[in-house]
Amino acid sequence: MEIGQLRDQTCCCMELLAPEIGDCSLLVDECLADARKSFRDSFICQFRPEAWAKITFVYHKHFLDTGCDVSVAEIIAEVVRDSIKSNRMDFLTMSLAQHKQFQKTHPDGHGKEAKPCLSVVKSKS
């Protein structure tokens, strides 16, 4: 997806998210322009339009609520910081470590399959 297409789809998502705003194209343009100060277009376009609609909404809402300018980069950094504190990090890193361990022991991608650690047991009722 290109930045222009992302902008158009984000505007549509914003209209669904906050129809009371009306024409939200200026808000989306400002948010994406701020994001482009810190991020490459290729990174920006990895986020779905629905996510950019929410980011745009939060970006402007907090500015209006506080009068302080908070950049899109600061918003995304704060979200990443918060997600690092989550319990899923343990699960995700364990999964990554197991995948790397398998690659290390089977560098050609072939070989005997590793035995699963868990097995399914069927009970007779």
Question: CA 85, CA 72: separation in Å to the nearest integer?
Answer: 20
Where would I find the beta strands (DSSP E) of the chain?
Answer: none
Number of residues in the chain: 125
pLDDT digits (tens, 9 = 90+) for 69-122: 889 999 999 988 887 766 677 777 888 888 888 888 877 666 555 555 555 556
pLDDT, average across residues 4-31: 94
Comparing 44 with 118, the larger pLDDT belongs to 44
pTM above 0.85, yes or no: no
By C-alpha distance, which of 84, 86, 85, 58 is closest to 71?
A: 58
What is the pLDDT, as a whole number, of residue 124? 66
